[in-house]
Chain A
Amino acid sequence: MKNKSLISINDYSKDQILKTLDLAEDFEENPKQRLLEGKVIATLFFEPSTRTRLSFESAINRLGGEIIGFSSQDSTSVKKGESLKDTIKTVSNYCDLIVIRHPLEGSARYASEVASVPVINAGDGTNQHPTQTMLDLYSIRKTQNTLENLNIFLVGDLKYGRTVHSLLMAMSHFNTTYNFVSPEELRIPEEYKMFLKEHKLQYKEHIDFTDIISEADIIYMTRIQRERFSDPMEYEKTKNSYMLRRDMLKGVKDNLKILHPLPRINEINEDVDESKQSYYFTQALNGVYTRMAIMSSILGVK
């Protein structure tokens, strides 16, 4: 994977995904490895995303690398000023690797085509966020001891949720059974159902999941955002019906874990936080190990 940009999770084969996860495991066991000493990494955040930026910068610091870059306060500044191409060409001169977060879809792919150094996509609009997917996969494998033959419930905004779409594609390597739980207006898009049919994978769609929750190995919750609804009344009704509460977790499988890309609004009630099924805070920590793994394999130091 040396010098290869990571733009979309589909850029990685099953084998490359598994190798990256193994490497992340190695970093978790042995986090003090100053493999990026003498390397400069640019973190270009054209829109704010504190969590993702801190996770990357923590990973770079642990590996002994230097950070240059910026984080814009608001994404509107993208529209004015110099072109993305010029920024990327200039920054390429000063670093060994670029991490980019940008509000426009396709910006990271384009950046990787004009940059003279490898690029990692830290989120391009509603399109892809592959390092999030990698940490999701890491969390699933860690809690289930395997990625094969799992039953995964994806809950909430399945229409616009990019983490859901990328996770769905990545899990297709592992004979996954999918249960999609969402309100009517936020159902999983047709193209992803087509993709699963082509790969002969089982899936079902549900409006409500209280009756079937006992089948789940993983429940992956996502935010339902107000701006996705044209009718604010509809939003108010919907947001509460996709809330996970502790009393719903009676009779679930022993190995069940609940994941969430964070930040949450109210879709996971705080009484779930102390349950043995909650895993979303550890999931975020796993992001540091997976990002260490991705960066060091792209820079060829591991």
Chain B
Amino acid sequence: MADSKPKLQVSAIKNGTVIDHIPAKHLFKVISILNLEHIKTQITFGTNLESKKLGYKAIIKLSKVFFKDEDINKIALIAPHAKLNIIKDFNVTVKRQVEVPDQIKGIAKCGNPNCITNNDNVNTIFYVIPKDNEKVVLKCHYCEKITDPEDMEVF
């Protein structure tokens, strides 16, 4: 018997971006943070794939899509170990880890129901504050309360 490890059942792309090592439970949040529903080119998803590091991970392959750093880095809040592969002509040209931004604007809902941003038409702004073991929390610019990215609701 060949002892080949099971390969991802997601096909290769010619040009585009592969986002790997997304915690499986956060795949749908990542999709919404990156606004993928508005993308017209081919996208393939794989989820509940076994991962030594994460337990279960998800992967997204986007054909002909390249993100700005400031946009892709937003997913670091919930997928701090996510790996980015930029593919050109079937070759990986850039390989990097996402980086946690200092500030995020307009993507997450403040966890405090009594916050002005949940009651008036105000865009949210959060400061990303490091906590122990690579985790971060979000401090609302307005109400100054803390939201944990794990419970964060995405618009």
Contact = CB atoms under 8 A, between A and B. Distances in A.
Interface residues of B, number: 17
Contacts of A125: 114, 143
Which of B115, B117, B142: most chain A Cβ within 10 A?
A: B142
14 contacts: A78-B119, A84-B120, A102-B116, A105-B115, A105-B116, A106-B115, A106-B116, A106-B122, A106-B142, A106-B144, A107-B142, A109-B116, A110-B120, A127-B145
A140 B122 CA distance: 38
B144 A105 contact: yes
B75 interface: no
Given A125-B114, A126-B114, A191-B146, A104 B119 contact: yes
Contacts, number: 56
Contacts of B119: 78-79, 104
Given A84-B116, A110-B116, A8 B144 contact: yes
A105 B140 CA distance: 10
A80 to B, nearest CB: 12
A159 interface: no
B121 interface: yes
A106 B143 contact: yes
B116 A104 contact: yes
B120 A83 contact: yes
Given A105-B114, A106-B140, A83 B121 contact: yes
Nearest to A128: B144
A148 B52 CA distance: 53
Interface string B114-155: 111101111000000000000000001111111000000000
Given A83-B121, A84-B120, A110-B122, A104 B114 contact: yes
Contacts of A110: 116, 120, 122, 142
Interface string B84-107: 000000000000000000000000
Interface in A97-130: 102-107, 109-110, 124-128
Give 6 nearest A-B pairs by CB, closest first: A106-B142, A105-B143, A106-B143, A106-B116, A107-B116, A104-B116
Interface of A: 8, 78-79, 83-85, 102-107, 109-110, 124-128, 191
Interface of B: 110, 112, 114-117, 119-122, 140-146
Nearest to A103: B114
B130 to A, nearest CB: 11
A79 B146 CA distance: 24
Nearest to A84: B120
Given A104-B115, A126-B114, A109 B142 contact: yes
Which of B117, B119, B144, B146: most chain A Cβ within 10 A?
A: B144
A128 B140 CA distance: 13
Contacts of A79: 119
Nearest to B131: A194
A85 B117 CA distance: 12
